Amino acid sequence: MNTDRLIDMLSAELEAVGNGRLGKTLILALVTGGAIAFALMLVTVGPRPNLESAARIEWIAVKLLFALSVIGTGALLLNRSMRPGLEDGTNWPLVFFPFLAALAVALAVLLGQPQAWAAMLRGATTISSIRCMLLIVFFAAIPMAAVIYALRRGAPTRLKLGGGIAGIVGGGIGAAAYAFNCTSDTIPFIAIWYSAAILICAVIGSQLGPRVLRW
Amino acid sequence: MFTDYNSCAQTSSSVEDDFPTLVADSDETGGNVVFTFSPSNAGKVSIAPANSEARTDHDKNDIAKSLPVDELGHPQERELRALMTASLDGDGAAYHTLLKQLTGHLRAYYRHRFARIGHGPTEAEDLLQEVLIAVHTHRHTYDRSQPFTPWIHAIARYKFLDYLRRTKSSYKDLPITSAEELTAKSDMAAVESGLDLQRLMLKISSKARQVIQYVKLEGLSVSEAAVKCGMSESAVKVAVHRGLKALALHIRKESEA
Protein backbone atom coordinates (compact mmCIF):
# COMPACT_ATOMS: atom_id res chain seq x y z
CA MET A 1 0.00 0.00 0.00
CA ASN A 2 1.24 3.44 -0.87
CA THR A 3 1.44 5.82 2.08
CA ASP A 4 0.34 8.80 -0.01
CA ARG A 5 -2.77 6.90 -0.98
CA LEU A 6 -3.49 6.18 2.67
CA ILE A 7 -3.17 9.87 3.49
CA ASP A 8 -5.58 10.77 0.67
CA MET A 9 -7.95 8.19 2.04
CA LEU A 10 -7.78 9.40 5.63
CA SER A 11 -8.19 13.07 4.79
CA ALA A 12 -11.14 12.57 2.41
CA GLU A 13 -14.47 13.67 3.88
CA LEU A 14 -12.86 14.63 7.14
CA GLU A 15 -15.22 15.00 10.05
CA ALA A 16 -14.86 17.70 12.69
CA VAL A 17 -14.11 16.47 16.19
CA GLY A 18 -15.27 18.30 19.32
CA ASN A 19 -13.00 18.86 22.27
CA GLY A 20 -15.10 17.49 25.12
CA ARG A 21 -15.96 14.05 23.83
CA LEU A 22 -13.46 12.07 25.86
CA GLY A 23 -14.25 13.80 29.14
CA LYS A 24 -17.95 13.11 28.66
CA THR A 25 -17.30 9.43 28.03
CA LEU A 26 -15.35 9.22 31.28
CA ILE A 27 -18.04 10.98 33.32
CA LEU A 28 -20.71 8.76 31.79
CA ALA A 29 -18.69 5.67 32.73
CA LEU A 30 -18.27 6.91 36.33
CA VAL A 31 -21.97 7.69 36.73
CA THR A 32 -23.13 4.43 35.14
CA GLY A 33 -20.63 2.38 37.14
CA GLY A 34 -21.66 4.14 40.34
CA ALA A 35 -25.37 3.57 39.71
CA ILE A 36 -24.83 -0.12 38.98
CA ALA A 37 -22.63 -0.61 42.05
CA PHE A 38 -25.24 1.10 44.25
CA ALA A 39 -28.06 -1.00 42.77
CA LEU A 40 -25.98 -4.14 43.30
CA MET A 41 -25.47 -3.17 46.94
CA LEU A 42 -29.24 -2.65 47.38
CA VAL A 43 -30.22 -6.02 45.91
CA THR A 44 -27.48 -8.07 47.60
CA VAL A 45 -26.58 -6.97 51.15
CA GLY A 46 -28.80 -3.87 51.37
CA PRO A 47 -28.14 -0.73 53.41
CA ARG A 48 -27.42 -1.07 57.13
CA PRO A 49 -30.45 -0.87 59.48
CA ASN A 50 -31.55 2.46 60.98
CA LEU A 51 -29.78 4.35 58.22
CA GLU A 52 -31.67 7.54 59.04
CA SER A 53 -30.23 8.10 62.52
CA ALA A 54 -27.92 11.09 62.70
CA ALA A 55 -24.88 9.20 63.98
CA ARG A 56 -25.08 6.67 61.15
CA ILE A 57 -25.52 9.37 58.51
CA GLU A 58 -22.36 11.00 59.85
CA TRP A 59 -20.36 7.79 59.49
CA ILE A 60 -21.67 7.18 56.00
CA ALA A 61 -20.59 10.73 55.18
CA VAL A 62 -17.08 10.04 56.50
CA LYS A 63 -16.81 6.85 54.45
CA LEU A 64 -18.17 8.56 51.36
CA LEU A 65 -15.76 11.45 51.82
CA PHE A 66 -12.86 9.01 51.67
CA ALA A 67 -14.30 7.08 48.70
CA LEU A 68 -15.15 10.23 46.76
CA SER A 69 -11.69 11.73 47.28
CA VAL A 70 -10.20 8.51 45.91
CA ILE A 71 -12.55 8.62 42.92
CA GLY A 72 -11.96 12.35 42.39
CA THR A 73 -8.16 12.30 42.30
CA GLY A 74 -8.20 9.06 40.31
CA ALA A 75 -10.62 10.42 37.72
CA LEU A 76 -8.53 13.56 37.20
CA LEU A 77 -5.44 11.45 36.54
CA LEU A 78 -7.43 9.04 34.38
CA ASN A 79 -8.52 11.93 32.20
CA ARG A 80 -4.86 12.72 31.61
CA SER A 81 -3.80 9.10 31.13
CA MET A 82 -6.08 8.69 28.12
CA ARG A 83 -4.49 11.59 26.25
CA PRO A 84 -1.01 10.96 24.83
CA GLY A 85 1.71 13.47 25.58
CA LEU A 86 0.68 14.36 29.12
CA GLU A 87 2.63 11.53 30.75
CA ASP A 88 5.49 13.64 31.96
CA GLY A 89 3.56 16.68 33.06
CA THR A 90 1.40 14.58 35.37
CA ASN A 91 2.07 13.85 39.00
CA TRP A 92 0.94 10.22 39.06
CA PRO A 93 1.75 9.47 42.74
CA LEU A 94 -1.00 11.98 43.58
CA VAL A 95 -3.39 9.06 43.26
CA PHE A 96 -2.15 7.80 46.65
CA PHE A 97 -2.75 11.08 48.44
CA PRO A 98 -6.25 10.23 49.79
CA PHE A 99 -4.89 6.97 51.19
CA LEU A 100 -1.98 8.65 52.92
CA ALA A 101 -4.26 11.34 54.33
CA ALA A 102 -6.65 8.69 55.69
CA LEU A 103 -3.78 6.72 57.19
CA ALA A 104 -2.41 9.85 58.85
CA VAL A 105 -5.77 10.60 60.46
CA ALA A 106 -6.11 6.95 61.48
CA LEU A 107 -2.66 7.03 63.09
CA ALA A 108 -3.62 10.12 65.06
CA VAL A 109 -6.81 8.43 66.27
CA LEU A 110 -4.94 5.27 67.23
CA LEU A 111 -2.29 7.19 69.16
CA GLY A 112 -5.05 9.07 70.99
CA GLN A 113 -6.71 5.86 72.20
CA PRO A 114 -3.98 3.21 72.56
CA GLN A 115 -6.24 0.94 74.62
CA ALA A 116 -8.82 0.55 71.82
CA TRP A 117 -6.50 -0.49 68.99
CA ALA A 118 -7.75 -4.02 68.50
CA ALA A 119 -11.40 -3.03 68.60
CA MET A 120 -10.94 -0.16 66.17
CA LEU A 121 -9.01 -2.22 63.64
CA ARG A 122 -11.25 -5.26 63.95
CA GLY A 123 -14.46 -3.38 63.16
CA ALA A 124 -17.99 -4.33 64.21
CA THR A 125 -17.52 -8.12 64.08
CA THR A 126 -14.60 -10.51 63.75
CA ILE A 127 -15.22 -11.03 60.04
CA SER A 128 -15.85 -7.35 59.28
CA SER A 129 -12.50 -6.75 57.64
CA ILE A 130 -12.74 -9.76 55.32
CA ARG A 131 -16.34 -8.98 54.47
CA CYS A 132 -15.48 -5.36 53.78
CA MET A 133 -12.72 -6.22 51.33
CA LEU A 134 -14.68 -8.91 49.52
CA LEU A 135 -17.76 -6.72 49.11
CA ILE A 136 -15.78 -3.69 47.92
CA VAL A 137 -13.96 -5.74 45.30
CA PHE A 138 -17.28 -7.34 44.29
CA PHE A 139 -19.05 -3.97 43.93
CA ALA A 140 -16.00 -2.55 42.14
CA ALA A 141 -15.94 -5.06 39.29
CA ILE A 142 -18.57 -3.44 37.07
CA PRO A 143 -17.48 0.19 37.67
CA MET A 144 -13.93 -0.91 36.86
CA ALA A 145 -15.08 -2.45 33.59
CA ALA A 146 -16.95 0.78 32.77
CA VAL A 147 -13.88 2.90 33.47
CA ILE A 148 -11.69 0.61 31.36
CA TYR A 149 -14.23 0.90 28.57
CA ALA A 150 -13.94 4.70 28.77
CA LEU A 151 -10.15 4.43 28.81
CA ARG A 152 -10.26 2.36 25.65
CA ARG A 153 -12.04 5.23 23.96
CA GLY A 154 -8.94 7.30 24.59
CA ALA A 155 -5.33 6.49 23.76
CA PRO A 156 -3.55 5.43 26.95
CA THR A 157 0.16 5.00 26.35
CA ARG A 158 1.07 3.55 29.74
CA LEU A 159 -1.15 0.56 30.00
CA LYS A 160 -0.14 -0.72 33.43
CA LEU A 161 -0.50 2.72 34.94
CA GLY A 162 -3.82 3.37 33.19
CA GLY A 163 -5.18 0.00 34.28
CA GLY A 164 -3.99 0.56 37.84
CA ILE A 165 -5.69 3.93 38.13
CA ALA A 166 -8.84 2.48 36.56
CA GLY A 167 -8.69 -0.13 39.34
CA ILE A 168 -8.35 2.56 42.01
CA VAL A 169 -11.30 4.54 40.63
CA GLY A 170 -13.40 1.38 40.28
CA GLY A 171 -12.41 0.37 43.81
CA GLY A 172 -13.36 3.83 45.07
CA ILE A 173 -16.81 3.45 43.54
CA GLY A 174 -17.11 -0.01 45.10
CA ALA A 175 -16.14 1.48 48.47
CA ALA A 176 -18.75 4.22 48.09
CA ALA A 177 -21.43 1.60 47.47
CA TYR A 178 -20.24 -0.54 50.39
CA ALA A 179 -20.27 2.51 52.72
CA PHE A 180 -24.08 2.25 52.92
CA ASN A 181 -23.84 -1.29 54.28
CA CYS A 182 -20.73 -1.03 56.44
CA THR A 183 -21.32 -1.18 60.21
CA SER A 184 -17.71 -0.68 61.33
CA ASP A 185 -17.63 2.92 62.44
CA THR A 186 -13.98 3.71 63.18
CA ILE A 187 -11.49 5.77 61.20
CA PRO A 188 -8.65 3.21 61.44
CA PHE A 189 -10.95 0.52 60.05
CA ILE A 190 -11.79 2.67 57.02
CA ALA A 191 -8.20 3.75 56.47
CA ILE A 192 -6.83 0.21 56.56
CA TRP A 193 -9.47 -2.10 55.12
CA TYR A 194 -11.11 0.20 52.59
CA SER A 195 -7.64 1.15 51.34
CA ALA A 196 -6.55 -2.48 51.16
CA ALA A 197 -9.63 -3.41 49.11
CA ILE A 198 -9.12 -0.50 46.72
CA LEU A 199 -5.46 -1.36 46.31
CA ILE A 200 -6.39 -4.96 45.47
CA CYS A 201 -8.52 -3.49 42.67
CA ALA A 202 -5.52 -1.39 41.62
CA VAL A 203 -3.32 -4.47 41.34
CA ILE A 204 -5.98 -6.30 39.32
CA GLY A 205 -6.33 -3.26 37.07
CA SER A 206 -2.62 -2.90 36.47
CA GLN A 207 -2.42 -6.58 35.53
CA LEU A 208 -5.36 -6.25 33.15
CA GLY A 209 -4.12 -2.98 31.64
CA PRO A 210 -1.53 -4.27 29.15
CA ARG A 211 -4.00 -6.90 27.97
CA VAL A 212 -7.19 -4.92 27.58
CA LEU A 213 -5.99 -1.39 26.86
CA ARG A 214 -3.81 -2.04 23.81
CA TRP A 215 -4.68 -0.08 20.70
CA MET B 1 26.26 16.68 21.24
CA PHE B 2 23.17 15.30 22.74
CA THR B 3 23.29 17.76 25.58
CA ASP B 4 23.75 20.60 23.11
CA TYR B 5 20.54 19.60 21.56
CA ASN B 6 18.69 19.43 24.84
CA SER B 7 19.79 22.80 25.97
CA CYS B 8 18.40 24.49 22.91
CA ALA B 9 15.07 22.82 23.42
CA GLN B 10 13.49 24.71 26.26
CA THR B 11 11.03 22.08 27.21
CA SER B 12 10.58 21.03 30.78
CA SER B 13 9.28 17.62 29.87
CA SER B 14 12.05 15.45 28.64
CA VAL B 15 10.43 12.26 27.51
CA GLU B 16 12.61 9.30 28.25
CA ASP B 17 12.25 5.89 26.82
CA ASP B 18 12.10 3.70 29.85
CA PHE B 19 14.26 0.80 28.83
CA PRO B 20 16.36 -0.89 31.46
CA THR B 21 19.67 -0.25 29.81
CA LEU B 22 20.35 3.05 28.20
CA VAL B 23 23.75 2.65 26.66
CA ALA B 24 24.36 5.95 25.02
CA ASP B 25 26.08 5.47 21.73
CA SER B 26 27.49 8.88 21.04
CA ASP B 27 27.76 8.39 17.31
CA GLU B 28 24.16 7.42 16.97
CA THR B 29 22.64 9.96 19.28
CA GLY B 30 24.57 12.67 17.55
CA GLY B 31 23.53 11.51 14.13
CA ASN B 32 20.01 11.55 15.34
CA VAL B 33 19.71 15.25 15.62
CA VAL B 34 19.05 17.05 12.40
CA PHE B 35 17.22 20.30 12.28
CA THR B 36 15.00 21.58 9.55
CA PHE B 37 13.79 24.77 11.04
CA SER B 38 12.53 26.99 8.31
CA PRO B 39 8.73 26.73 8.27
CA SER B 40 8.69 27.54 4.55
CA ASN B 41 10.55 24.41 3.59
CA ALA B 42 9.11 22.26 6.34
CA GLY B 43 7.95 18.97 4.99
CA LYS B 44 9.71 19.38 1.69
CA VAL B 45 13.17 18.81 3.05
CA SER B 46 14.39 15.33 2.75
CA ILE B 47 17.16 14.30 5.03
CA ALA B 48 19.42 11.42 4.20
CA PRO B 49 19.72 8.57 6.71
CA ALA B 50 21.21 9.72 9.97
CA ASN B 51 24.60 8.11 9.63
CA SER B 52 25.72 9.92 6.51
CA GLU B 53 24.89 13.27 8.03
CA ALA B 54 26.24 12.57 11.45
CA ARG B 55 29.34 14.70 11.18
CA THR B 56 27.67 17.86 9.97
CA ASP B 57 25.00 18.08 12.63
CA HIS B 58 27.02 20.03 15.08
CA ASP B 59 26.92 23.17 12.98
CA LYS B 60 23.22 22.83 12.51
CA ASN B 61 22.73 22.63 16.24
CA ASP B 62 24.58 25.87 16.67
CA ILE B 63 22.41 27.58 14.10
CA ALA B 64 19.32 26.19 15.73
CA LYS B 65 20.36 27.63 19.06
CA SER B 66 20.59 31.10 17.65
CA LEU B 67 17.12 31.00 16.14
CA PRO B 68 14.02 32.14 17.96
CA VAL B 69 12.01 29.19 19.18
CA ASP B 70 8.44 28.99 20.35
CA GLU B 71 7.19 27.95 23.75
CA LEU B 72 7.99 24.31 23.25
CA GLY B 73 11.45 24.93 22.01
CA HIS B 74 10.58 23.23 18.78
CA PRO B 75 10.41 25.22 15.54
CA GLN B 76 7.61 23.22 13.95
CA GLU B 77 5.35 23.00 16.96
CA ARG B 78 3.37 26.11 16.11
CA GLU B 79 2.79 25.14 12.51
CA LEU B 80 1.83 21.54 13.27
CA ARG B 81 -0.45 22.63 16.06
CA ALA B 82 -2.26 25.11 13.83
CA LEU B 83 -2.72 22.37 11.24
CA MET B 84 -4.05 19.97 13.86
CA THR B 85 -6.52 22.50 15.23
CA ALA B 86 -7.82 23.19 11.73
CA SER B 87 -8.04 19.44 11.09
CA LEU B 88 -10.11 18.90 14.20
CA ASP B 89 -12.47 21.59 12.92
CA GLY B 90 -12.93 19.52 9.78
CA ASP B 91 -10.44 21.15 7.39
CA GLY B 92 -9.48 18.26 5.10
CA ALA B 93 -6.76 20.18 3.26
CA ALA B 94 -5.02 21.12 6.50
CA TYR B 95 -5.30 17.53 7.64
CA HIS B 96 -3.77 16.30 4.40
CA THR B 97 -0.83 18.68 4.88
CA LEU B 98 -0.49 17.64 8.51
CA LEU B 99 -0.42 13.93 7.69
CA LYS B 100 2.12 14.55 4.92
CA GLN B 101 4.42 16.37 7.29
CA LEU B 102 3.96 13.84 10.07
CA THR B 103 4.74 11.08 7.58
CA GLY B 104 8.12 12.66 6.89
CA HIS B 105 8.93 12.99 10.56
CA LEU B 106 7.65 9.55 11.50
CA ARG B 107 9.49 7.88 8.65
CA ALA B 108 12.78 9.35 9.79
CA TYR B 109 11.96 8.46 13.40
CA TYR B 110 11.12 4.84 12.62
CA ARG B 111 13.72 4.07 9.98
CA HIS B 112 16.47 4.99 12.37
CA ARG B 113 15.02 2.80 15.09
CA PHE B 114 14.17 -0.07 12.80
CA ALA B 115 17.69 -0.09 11.47
CA ARG B 116 18.89 -0.54 15.03
CA ILE B 117 16.70 -3.56 15.70
CA GLY B 118 17.66 -5.04 12.35
CA HIS B 119 14.30 -4.52 10.67
CA GLY B 120 14.02 -3.02 7.24
CA PRO B 121 12.35 0.09 5.85
CA THR B 122 9.36 -1.92 4.63
CA GLU B 123 8.43 -2.86 8.17
CA ALA B 124 9.04 0.73 9.21
CA GLU B 125 6.63 1.87 6.52
CA ASP B 126 4.02 -0.62 7.76
CA LEU B 127 4.26 0.76 11.25
CA LEU B 128 4.17 4.30 9.91
CA GLN B 129 0.90 3.54 8.17
CA GLU B 130 -0.47 1.96 11.31
CA VAL B 131 0.42 5.13 13.20
CA LEU B 132 -1.27 7.33 10.61
CA ILE B 133 -4.47 5.34 11.01
CA ALA B 134 -4.08 5.49 14.80
CA VAL B 135 -3.63 9.25 14.63
CA HIS B 136 -6.80 9.40 12.58
CA THR B 137 -8.95 7.20 14.79
CA HIS B 138 -7.59 8.77 17.99
CA ARG B 139 -7.45 12.39 16.93
CA HIS B 140 -10.15 13.21 19.47
CA THR B 141 -7.63 12.47 22.24
CA TYR B 142 -5.64 15.58 21.37
CA ASP B 143 -6.48 18.38 23.78
CA ARG B 144 -6.35 21.70 21.91
CA SER B 145 -5.05 23.49 24.97
CA GLN B 146 -1.93 21.31 25.03
CA PRO B 147 1.13 21.38 22.76
CA PHE B 148 0.97 19.07 19.77
CA THR B 149 4.53 17.73 19.51
CA PRO B 150 4.37 15.70 22.76
CA TRP B 151 1.06 14.21 21.63
CA ILE B 152 2.39 12.83 18.37
CA HIS B 153 5.65 11.79 20.00
CA ALA B 154 3.80 9.82 22.68
CA ILE B 155 1.80 8.02 20.00
CA ALA B 156 4.87 7.30 17.87
CA ARG B 157 6.75 6.01 20.87
CA TYR B 158 3.83 3.92 22.13
CA LYS B 159 3.40 2.32 18.72
CA PHE B 160 7.08 1.54 18.52
CA LEU B 161 7.10 -0.12 21.94
CA ASP B 162 3.97 -2.02 20.98
CA TYR B 163 5.69 -3.16 17.80
CA LEU B 164 8.69 -4.39 19.78
CA ARG B 165 6.41 -6.24 22.14
CA ARG B 166 4.41 -8.02 19.49
CA THR B 167 7.38 -8.88 17.30
CA LYS B 168 9.34 -9.83 20.41
CA SER B 169 12.25 -7.75 19.29
CA SER B 170 14.71 -6.42 21.76
CA TYR B 171 16.02 -2.95 21.78
CA LYS B 172 18.44 -2.71 24.60
CA ASP B 173 20.26 0.39 23.54
CA LEU B 174 17.44 2.76 22.77
CA PRO B 175 18.79 6.25 23.36
CA ILE B 176 17.05 8.76 25.56
CA THR B 177 14.81 10.83 23.35
CA SER B 178 12.74 13.89 23.85
CA ALA B 179 9.52 14.95 22.20
CA GLU B 180 11.25 17.37 19.85
CA GLU B 181 13.45 14.69 18.38
CA LEU B 182 10.50 13.35 16.46
CA THR B 183 9.93 16.54 14.53
CA ALA B 184 13.58 17.47 14.30
CA LYS B 185 13.98 15.76 10.97
CA SER B 186 11.90 14.59 8.12
CA ASP B 187 12.21 11.90 5.49
CA MET B 188 9.92 12.17 2.50
CA ALA B 189 11.36 9.33 0.47
CA ALA B 190 8.53 6.85 0.47
CA VAL B 191 8.92 3.12 0.44
CA GLU B 192 6.10 0.89 -0.63
CA SER B 193 4.72 -0.76 2.46
CA GLY B 194 4.40 -4.52 2.39
CA LEU B 195 0.71 -4.34 3.11
CA ASP B 196 -1.75 -4.84 0.33
CA LEU B 197 -4.69 -2.54 0.97
CA GLN B 198 -7.06 -4.34 -1.36
CA ARG B 199 -6.36 -7.66 0.29
CA LEU B 200 -6.69 -6.21 3.80
CA MET B 201 -9.96 -4.59 2.80
CA LEU B 202 -11.37 -8.05 2.10
CA LYS B 203 -10.98 -8.87 5.79
CA ILE B 204 -13.35 -6.21 7.08
CA SER B 205 -17.14 -6.41 6.88
CA SER B 206 -18.63 -5.93 3.43
CA LYS B 207 -20.69 -2.94 4.56
CA ALA B 208 -17.65 -1.17 5.98
CA ARG B 209 -15.64 -2.11 2.90
CA GLN B 210 -18.21 -0.62 0.60
CA VAL B 211 -18.52 2.72 2.42
CA ILE B 212 -14.74 3.05 2.71
CA GLN B 213 -14.49 2.30 -0.98
CA TYR B 214 -17.04 5.02 -1.78
CA VAL B 215 -16.06 7.72 0.66
CA LYS B 216 -12.35 7.22 1.12
CA LEU B 217 -11.17 5.76 -2.18
CA GLU B 218 -13.61 6.95 -4.82
CA GLY B 219 -14.06 10.35 -3.26
CA LEU B 220 -17.85 10.37 -2.96
CA SER B 221 -19.37 12.63 -0.33
CA VAL B 222 -20.95 11.06 2.72
CA SER B 223 -24.45 11.92 1.48
CA GLU B 224 -23.79 10.40 -1.96
CA ALA B 225 -22.47 7.23 -0.34
CA ALA B 226 -25.49 7.16 1.95
CA VAL B 227 -27.83 7.23 -1.07
CA LYS B 228 -25.84 4.55 -2.89
CA CYS B 229 -25.81 2.20 0.10
CA GLY B 230 -29.31 3.00 1.24
CA MET B 231 -28.01 3.99 4.68
CA SER B 232 -28.40 7.16 6.71
CA GLU B 233 -25.50 9.63 6.67
CA SER B 234 -24.64 9.00 10.29
CA ALA B 235 -24.68 5.25 9.65
CA VAL B 236 -22.17 5.79 6.84
CA LYS B 237 -19.93 7.85 9.14
CA VAL B 238 -20.07 5.18 11.83
CA ALA B 239 -19.37 2.43 9.30
CA VAL B 240 -16.35 4.33 7.93
CA HIS B 241 -15.00 4.88 11.43
CA ARG B 242 -15.47 1.25 12.46
CA GLY B 243 -14.06 0.04 9.16
CA LEU B 244 -10.90 2.08 9.61
CA LYS B 245 -10.48 0.75 13.13
CA ALA B 246 -10.93 -2.81 11.87
CA LEU B 247 -8.43 -2.11 9.12
CA ALA B 248 -5.92 -0.85 11.69
CA LEU B 249 -6.41 -4.05 13.66
CA HIS B 250 -5.68 -6.16 10.58
CA ILE B 251 -2.60 -4.12 9.75
CA ARG B 252 -1.40 -4.75 13.28
CA LYS B 253 -2.07 -8.48 13.02
CA GLU B 254 -0.31 -8.57 9.67
CA SER B 255 2.90 -7.21 11.10
CA GLU B 256 2.62 -9.59 14.03
CA ALA B 257 2.70 -12.58 11.71
Q: Where do the CATH 1.10.10.10 domains begin and end in chain B?
A: 197-256
Higher per-residue confidence, A10 vs B34: A10
- Residue B123 predicted with pLDDT over 80: yes
**Residues of chain B neighbouring A17 (CB-CB closer than 8 A):** 88, 139-140
A50, amino acid identity = N
Give the pLDDT confidence of A158-207 residue by residue, as tens digits: 999 999 999 999 999 999 999 999 999 999 999 999 999 999 999 999 99
Q: Is A10 on the interface with B (CB under 8 A)?
A: yes
B38-88 confidence digits (pLDDT tens) = 333 333 333 334 343 333 444 444 444 443 444 445 678 889 999 999 999
Q: What is the 3-state secondary structure (H, E, C) of chain A?
A: CCHHHHHHHHHCCCCCCCCCHHHHHHHHHHHHHHHHHHHHHHHCCCCCCCCCCHHHHHHHHHHHHHHHHHHHHHHHHHHHHCCCCCCCCCCHHHHHHHHHHHHHHHHHHHHHCHHHHHHHHHCCCCCHHHHHHHHHHHHHHHHHHHHHHHHHHCCCCCHHHHHHHHHHHHHHHHHHHHCCCCCCCCHHHHHHHHHHHHHHHHHHHHHHHHHHCCC
Look at residue B72 in the predicted model and tell me its pLDDT. Answer: 44
Least CB-CB distance to A14: which of B95, B129, B143? Answer: B95
Instruction: Say what the pLDDT of residue A171 is.
Output: 97
Question: CB–CB of A1 and B138 under 8 A?
Answer: no
First-to-last C-alpha distance (Å) of chain B: 39
Q: Which residue of B has its CA nearest to A82?
A: B141
Flag if A2 and B125 touch (Cβ within 8 Å).
Answer: no
Q: Does A58 touch chain B (CB under 8 A)?
A: no
- What is the pLDDT, as a whole number, of residue B20? 30
Average pLDDT score over residue span B23-34: 33
Q: What percent of chain A has pLDDT over 70?
A: 100
Q: What is the pTM of this model?
A: 0.72
pLDDT digits (tens, 9 = 90+) for B188-230: 666 666 667 777 777 888 888 888 878 777 777 888 888 888 8
Given B12, B96, B190, which is nearest A11 (Cβ)? Answer: B96
| pLDDT for residue B246 | 84
Domain B197-256 listed as CATH 3.30.930.10: no
Whether B215 sits inside 8 A of A89 (CB atoms) is: no
Asked if B39 and B8 count as a contact pair (C-beta separation under 8 A), the reply is no
- Does the distance separating the beta carbons of B92 and A13 come in below 8 Å? yes
Q: Domain locations in chain A? A: 64-215
CB contact under 8 A, A13 and B221: yes
Nearest-CA distance A91 → chain B (Å): 12
| pLDDT bucket at B15, cuts 50 / 70 / 90 | very low
- Range of weakest confidence among A67-81, A127-141, B234-248: B234-248
Q: Is the pLDDT assigned to residue B36 strictly greater than 50? A: no
